[in-house]
Amino acid sequence: MSAKVIYIDLGLKEYKEAWDIQEMYHSKLLAGKDKNDSNAGTLIFCEHPHVYTLGKSGQQNNLLVNNDFLKKINATYYKSNRGGDITYHGPGQLVGYPIFDLEKLKLGVKDYIHLLEHSIIDTLKEYNISATRLEKATGVWLDAGTEKARKICAIGVRVSKAVTMHGFALNINTDLKYFSYINPCGFIDKSVTSIQKELSKEISTQEVKTILKKRIEHIFSLSIQ
């Protein structure tokens, strides 16, 4: 029997509000861990207004602009408790927050991240975009291992008592100039891209959500409701 996961689409949501919602569902899942039900968590999809977030192992100097400039470009900045370094979220980018009980899914953290990457890679195949992993770097990349290597999806997670938080950010119709104000994920020698940039046309975010949700459901052996 497939583990059940509740799906929530928050639409456009401020980063801190979405973080608070994650914390709420994380706490609820922890509180119900001892119950013998098949609920394995919640999958949240959303977009954020322009925001930069720094992971707990990240370096402050990877943010290349000051507070005044952040205000000028209508962006905010938060220090997060997820793994990874600095990243950008904004309109046109699909952010996914799986709050999953890894014990119920019988997954370790590395396997969990691997399956997230797998879900994104399979989704991109639907658009004839060939994506892979990059050794010693989480996320999903195009032309990995070459001078043209560019990231299309960032991943940064937190796991507490075997329950996940935070997740992935897939660039669909993202304004990529916002990445020029940071060293994305701490890299100074690699660029970022989006589905729109790769295909030279705007893509339906709703369509990508539908495909990706189905891929996550299949790859994680879930029943998403």
Active-site amino acid positions: 185
3-state SS assignment for residue 134 = strand
β-sheet bridge partners, residue 41:
5, 100
26 alpha carbon, distance to own chain's centre: 16
- DSSP per-residue codes, 147-213: TT-EEEEEEEEEEETTEEEEEEEEESS--GGGGGGB-GGG-SS-EE--HHHHHTS---HHHHHHHHH
Dihedrals φ, ψ of 14, to 5°?
Answer: -55, 145
